[in-house]
Amino acid sequence: MQRSKHDVWVGLFVLLGAVAILFLAMKAGNLLSLSFEQTYSVSARFDNIGGLKPKAAVKSAGVVVGRVKAIHFDGKTYQATVDLEIQKSAAFPKDTSAKILTAGLLGEQYIGLEPGYDDKVLAQGDAIKTTQSAIVLENLISQFLFSKAADGPSSTGDKK
């Protein structure tokens, strides 16, 4: 009887540990966001979203103010439409701009919002007009290499 009581407690402890590890893994992978704040939806169009994913952070001044809800491809404009969920406590002006930024050199991508100066604020269903696409590291490297190749071989010494 005594052994069976210990088995139950050990099993319960192992179960709680597994639930805690699962919770931490979900939070670390940005798959779980426990926020009970009210939000409003806005959209933004980008030429290139790089590696942006749904549930990526939306930040302003380094503070998370929302999440990416969904990403769609518009077949008419050939752009990506990104739907954002922003906390109601963060009321941004209508002339706010959105950029796709990278955390660190090769980190995850997120959307950075820079507030404008308009008196009117973004509301449910509005669109952010001014956007800047993601900077793709491979494109930068190839541009650098092609510009160096176009310069041709450089001679460092003068020969007469």
User: pLDDT tens digits for 48-71?
Assistant: 998 899 989 999 999 999 999 999
- Tens of pLDDT along 5-28? 888 888 899 999 999 998 888 777
What is the tens place of the pLDDT at every residue in 86-98? 999 988 999 999 9
Cα separation values, 29 from 79, 90, 127, 146, Å: 27, 24, 28, 37
Three-state SS for 14? Answer: helix
How much is the average pLDDT of 73-101? 93
- For the segment 94-117, the average pLDDT, to the nearest whole number, is 89
Q: Tell me what pLDDT residue 143 has.
A: 84
CB 82 within 8 A of CB 49: yes
**Residue 31: its pLDDT value, please?**
62
How many C-beta atoms lie closer than 10 Å to residue 129's C-beta? Answer: 13
Tokens of 47: 């030429």
Q: What is the pLDDT of residues 148-158, one digit of tens each?
A: 777 776 555 55
With H, G, I as helix, E, B as strand and everything else as coil, classify residue 157: coil
Distances (CA, A) of 142 to 46, 97, 133, 135: 21, 28, 18, 13
Residues 115-144 have pLDDT tens digits of 999 999 999 999 999 999 887 777 778 888
Inter-residue contact 116 to 131 (CB < 8 Å): no
Question: How many whole angstroms separate alpha carbon 80 and alpha carbon 44?
Answer: 8
